A = this chain, B = another copy of it.
Amino acid sequence: MKINAEKIWAGLVRIREEAPLIHNITNYVVMNPTANALLALGASPVMAHALEEVAEMVQIAGALVINIGTLSEPWVKAMHKAAVRARELKIPLVLDPVGAGATPYRTRTLHRLLAAAKPDIIRGNASEIRALVVEGATTKGVDSSAASEEVVGAAQTLSRDHRCTVCVSGAVDYIVSGERVLRVLNGDPLMTRVTGMGCSASAFCGAFAAAGSPPWLAAAQAMAIMGIAGEKAAEKAAGPGSLQVYFLDALHNLTREQVDAALRIER
């Protein structure tokens, strides 16, 4: 399948028309910007983590996005329950393995989640993806440090082991499904100075999947739209404060012409 500006744009149009409900079980740091980014995209966010309601919330959602950024046991239990229910209902499931490798608890939790319910898309930075594959790989907190090219091998292993699309975000975003590798070149370095951009990208993977795109395409749409909106924002921004503001404005106002002109995607 050829992924071009028309296909990227079509996904955004469907989100704007359908406003799919995206159920996020995510971390405290990024809940607000994730909700705002989903709204600016055209989707409807809901955050809910109580064991008493996650199964029923998943049921009315178009996708489930799990992000372990500020995990703790009650939340992990809810993530399990929601993820298993999403699989039963064939609702798209995205996993963001924030800080994988930073502590044994994170890595262990991720392996258990992966064993309980296979996600359609795993999106993380290079260190996180590597930590899910390479025993003993370490992460410096939630930042990326592994060589970007090297990580494609790890992403392919992860993709094959769990039969899912793996998206490695960084200066270049790699979208990996088995042997296939797609590179999204959009984005701006200033985006790394704003917390939660990666988490929003994971939520966008869920939104595009909820709007009917298969995982591989949904990940490409998410990373391209994130990157293009980030570039538009960076053109005007004087720093990371104004970047956040203009990012939401750019997302809300994104046009077909802007996507056509800016998209940089390669096989």
* Residues of A that sit less than 8 Å from B by CB: 19, 21, 27-33, 35-36, 39-40, 44-53, 56-57, 60-61, 69-74, 99, 102-106, 138, 140-143, 193-196, 237-242, 244-253
Give the dominant DSSP class at A's interface.
mixed
Chain B residues contacting A142 (CB-CB under 8 Å) are 44-46
What's the Cα separation between A252 and B217 when bound, in Å? 35
Distance between Cα atoms of A70 and B247 in the complex (Å):
26
Q: Are the CB atoms of A56 and B104 closer together than 8 Å?
A: yes
Q: Are B99 and A70 in contact (CB under 8 A)?
A: no
User: In the complex the two chains form, is B241's CB within 8 Å of A194's CB?
Assistant: no
Inside 8 A of A248's CB, which chain B residues have their CB?
239-242, 244
Q: B residues within 8 A CB of A30?
A: 32
A21 with B241: CB separation less than 8 A = no
Evaluate contact between B57 and A240: CB separation under 8 angstroms. Answer: no
Residue among B32, B60, B104, B246 making CB contact with A140, cutoff 8 Å: B60
The minimal Cβ–Cβ distance linking A67 to chain B, given in whole angstroms, is 12
Cβ contact within 8 Å between B35 and A50: no
- Return A32 CB to nearest CB of chain B, in Å: 6
